[in-house]
Amino acid sequence: MRVEACGVCHSDAATVEGVFPIDFPRVPGHEVVGRIDAVGQGVTGWTVGQRVGVGFLGGHCGHCTRCRRGDFVNCEQQPYTGIHTDGGYAEVLIARESGLVAIPDELDSLEAPPLLCAGLTTFKALRDSSARPGDLVAVLGVGGLGHLGVQYARRMGFRVVAIARGPEKAALARELGAHLYVDSVAQDVAAELTNLGGARLVLATAANSAATAAVIPGLAPGGELMVLGIGDEPISVSSSDLIFGERYITGSLTGSTADNEDTLAFSVLQDIRATTEVVGLADAPVAYARMMNNEARFRMVLDLSR
């Protein structure tokens, strides 16, 4: 595929910093949008010139135990785009047929990349959670993942609480759709959630283990903490906080190509978009540095036409 745009995601650090065992050289990037330039022998359902995307999961094998049970996300033979195969910080990318995502005509090629990872991750986690419309749902962190999580949660009909550090993000959180805002610096997050009746779901998008642990007592009985952000430290949990109230802690890893197409369709339907900064491919190092330094607002996108 000829790449038109590629998002810059924190997970790209796994390639750049060599976190995974990687056969270098390797091209990062797993939020890729472009057009099919050629198809391999036996490929059906995809045509030259069609606009497609490729996410973090590079395509399931269809043969392993997990695939045979329909669990394509946890395919045992699935490559990670930009880690096991070359990614989208490039003009051309080779992708597996089973890893392709159809891009709706209503989405611009510069709008779609962040939705293929950050959008998919938050949308699928909310959709597959135990929360139901009308429930209190808290989104921990209003950044690259969280600013999309707040939008999806509001459009899905939840009562949304945004949690972040400092008062400066309060206005943004409400603009994105949060009904309430909790400043984790000035307020006791668990106490605030408890006063609201307890959260049915906390979507932990911030990669901060201490902040994640602090919200657990604020879960309602039967409530669920779903972890999306990967922190450097373990999450410390009091067994009594889990037992008294029968609370749950789960994790969510991105989603399948079908989940990704659902994410894009819902984003079009509800007019949900990421807030992005766009630069050319030559400025990929600058974009990566801004992302790693938490300076991006909120997702960096590489425009291959520049």
Cα–Cα distance measured from residue 42 to residue 192, given in angstroms and rounded to the nearest whole number: 57
Report the pLDDT value the prediction gives residue 232, as an integer from 0 to 100: 85
Q: Say whether both 235 and 276 belong to one domain.
A: no
Q: Say whether both 262 and 171 belong to one domain.
A: no
Q: Say whether both 243 and 125 belong to one domain.
A: yes
Report the pLDDT value the prediction gives residue 280, as an integer from 0 to 100: 98
**Across all residues in the chain, what is the average pLDDT?**
97
Residue 181, classified by CB atoms within 10 Å of its CB into exposed (0-12), middle (13-18) or buried (19+), is buried
Can you tell me the mean pLDDT for 182-208?
A: 97
Return the percentage of the chain with pLDDT > 90, whole number: 98
- The confidence band for 62, taking pLDDT boundaries of 50, 70 and 90, is very high
Q: Say whether both 260 and 230 belong to one domain.
A: no
Report the pLDDT value the prediction gives residue 83, as an integer from 0 to 100: 97
- What is the per-residue pLDDT across 242-298, written as a single tens digit (0 to 9) for each? 999 999 999 999 999 999 999 999 999 999 999 999 999 999 999 999 999 999 999
CATH number of the domain residue 173 falls in? 3.40.50.720
Dmax over CA atoms of the chain, in Å, equals: 60
Q: Say whether both 183 and 160 belong to one domain.
A: yes
Q: Say whether both 236 and 260 belong to one domain.
A: no
Q: Say whether both 11 and 65 belong to one domain.
A: yes
Is the predicted pLDDT of residue 179 greater than 90, yes or no?
Answer: yes
HEC string of the chain equals CEEEEEEECHHHHHHHCCCCCCCCCCCCCCEEEEECCCCCCCCCCCCCCCEEEECCECCCCCCCHHHHCCCHHHCCCCCEECCCECCCCCCECCCCHHHEEECCCCCCCCCCHHHHCHHHHHHHHHHCCCCCCCCEEEEECCCCCHHHHHHHHHHCCCEEEEEECCHHHHHHHHHHCCCEEEECCCCCHHHHHHHCCCEEEEEECCCCHHHHHHCHHHEEEEEEEEECCCCCCCCCCCHHHHHCCCCEEEECCCCCHHHHHHHHHHHHHHCCCCCEEEEEHHHHHHHHHHHHCCCCCCEEEEECCC
Q: Say whether both 72 and 183 belong to one domain.
A: no
pTM of the model: 0.97
Is the predicted pLDDT of residue 190 greater than 90, yes or no?
Answer: yes
Q: Say whether both 259 and 247 belong to one domain.
A: no
Q: Say whether both 180 and 159 belong to one domain.
A: yes
Pairing of strands 31-35, 51-54: antiparallel
- What is the per-residue pLDDT across 208-234, written as a single tens digit (0 to 9) for each? 999 999 999 999 999 999 999 988 899
Q: Say whether both 83 and 27 belong to one domain.
A: yes
Residue 95, classified by CB atoms within 10 Å of its CB into exposed (0-12), middle (13-18) or buried (19+), is buried
CATH number of the domain residue 263 falls in? 3.90.180.10
- What is the per-residue pLDDT across 119-131, written as a single tens digit (0 to 9) for each? 999 999 999 999 9
* Residue 183 lies in domain: 120-251
**Beta sheet of 136-140, edge-to-edge order:** 180-183, 159-164, 136-140, 199-204, 219-227, 248-251
Cα–Cα distance measured from residue 173 to residue 180, given in angstroms and rounded to the nearest whole number: 8
CA-based torsion, 179, 129, 205, 273: positive or negative: negative
Q: Say whether both 137 and 246 belong to one domain.
A: yes
Domain total of the chain: 2
Spatial neighbors of 207 by CB under 8 A, at least 6 apart, are: 10, 229, 230, 231, 232
Task: Decide which of 233, 251, 269 is a domain's last residue.
Answer: 251
Residues 58 and 24 sit within 8 Å (Cβ to Cβ): no
- The confidence band for 75, taking pLDDT boundaries of 50, 70 and 90, is very high
